[in-house]
C-alpha cells in the first residue's frame, strides 16, 4: 500500500478515535450539527451534477417547502430527494441489514423520485457515455453480471479486513464505473460511499462542487480506472476534513 495512504489512514483513525471518545454526544447538539452538515452535503452533491440552487435556497426548499423563482422543478426535487436519501442512509447505517444491490436501487429510487418514474430504482436498458470521460460504461446486457461481481468483490474486501475508508472509496468508484442507471449515478455512488462510512463510525464525506474541486474529483475518478490511489487519497483527505470539522464544532481541544 502507498505510504502516503497508510499515513493518511492513520491520521483518519486517530481523529475518529477522538470523536468516538466524545460520545455519547448531546442529542440536541448532534442533531443540529448533522442537519447543518447534511444540508451542505445535499447542496454540494447536487452542485456537482449541475444543480444551480444556492445553499440557502436548498435549505429553504428542503426545510420550508419554498419554491424558488427561476429554478426548475427538477432542481427543487433534487434537493428534496437528496435530503431524504441522507435520512435513508443514516437510518440504514444503524440497522443490521446487509448492503446489497437492493440497497443501491432503493437509494437511486429516492434520488429520482418524481423526476424519472420509469427509471427510478431500475438499471438502464440503453447504452450511455459519461460526459468528459474516456471510459465507456458496459452495455446494458452486462450490467446485471457486473453488479453481481461488484457485490461479491465488496464482500471479499470486507472478509479480508480492508480498511473501511478504502472500501467506501471502492464502492463509489466502481459503481460510477459500471454506471448502472440512466441518471443519478454520481449522487447514488456518493451516498453508497457515505452509507458505508457511517456504518463504520466515520462521518459523511462531502465532496465539493466548485469548478476546481469538481475537476479534481473527476480527474481522480478517471485515473482510478487504472490506479485507485488518487481517488483513495481524495476520499481519505475528505474524511479527515469532515472529522476535524466535527471535532471543531464540538469544542475538542486543538481544533478551536
Query: What is the Cα–Cα distance from 113 to 87, expressed in whole angstroms?
Result: 15
Nine-digit cell at 23? 460520545
Which position among 82, 163, 172, 179 bears the catalytic label? 179
CA 85 to chain centre: 10
Active site (annotated) includes residue 179: yes
Q: Which residues are catalytic?
A: 179
Amino acid at each position: 500500500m502507498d505510504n502516503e495512504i497508510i499515513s493518511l489512514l492513520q491520521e483518519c483513525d486517530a481523529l475518529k478515535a477522538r470523536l468516538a471518545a466524545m460520545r455519547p454526544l448531546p442529542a440536541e447538539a448532534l442533531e443540529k450539527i448533522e442537519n447543518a452538515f447534511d444540508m451542505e452535503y445535499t447542496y454540494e452533491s447536487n452542485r456537482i451534477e449541475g444543480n444551480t440552487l444556492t445553499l440557502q435556497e436548498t435549505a429553504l426548499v428542503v426545510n420550508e417547502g419554498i419554491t424558488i423563482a427561476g429554478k426548475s422543478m427538477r432542481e427543487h426535487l433534487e434537493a428534496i430527494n437528496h435530503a431524504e436519501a441522507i435520512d435513508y442512509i443514516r437510518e440504514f447505517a444503524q440497522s443490521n441489514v446487509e448492503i446489497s444491490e437492493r440497497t443501491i436501487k432503493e437509494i437511486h429510487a429516492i434520488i429520482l423520485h418524481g423526476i424519472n418514474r420509469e427509471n427510478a430504482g431500475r438499471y438502464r436498458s440503453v447504452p450511455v457515455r459519461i460526459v468528459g470521460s474516456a471510459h465507456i460504461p458496459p452495455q446494458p446486457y452486462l450490467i446485471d453480471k457486473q453488479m453481481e461481481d461488484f457485490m461479491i468483490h465488496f464482500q471479499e474486501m470486507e472478509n479480508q479486513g480492508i480498511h473501511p475508508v478504502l472500501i467506501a472509496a471502492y464502492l463509489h468508484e466502481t459503481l460510477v464505473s459500471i454506471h448502472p442507471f440512466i441518471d443519478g449515478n454520481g449522487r447514488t455512488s456518493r451516498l453508497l460511499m457515505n452509507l458505508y462510512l457511517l456504518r463504520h463510525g466515520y462521518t459523511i464525506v462531502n465532496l465539493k462542487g466548485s469548478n476546481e474541486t469538481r475537476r479534481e474529483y473527476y480527474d481522480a475518478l478517471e485515473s482510478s480506472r487504472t490506479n485507485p490511489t488518487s481517488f483513495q487519497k481524495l476520499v481519505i483527505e475528505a474524511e479527515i476534513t469532515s472529522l476535524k470539522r466535527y471535532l471543531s464544532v464540538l469544542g475538542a481541544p486543538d481544533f478551536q
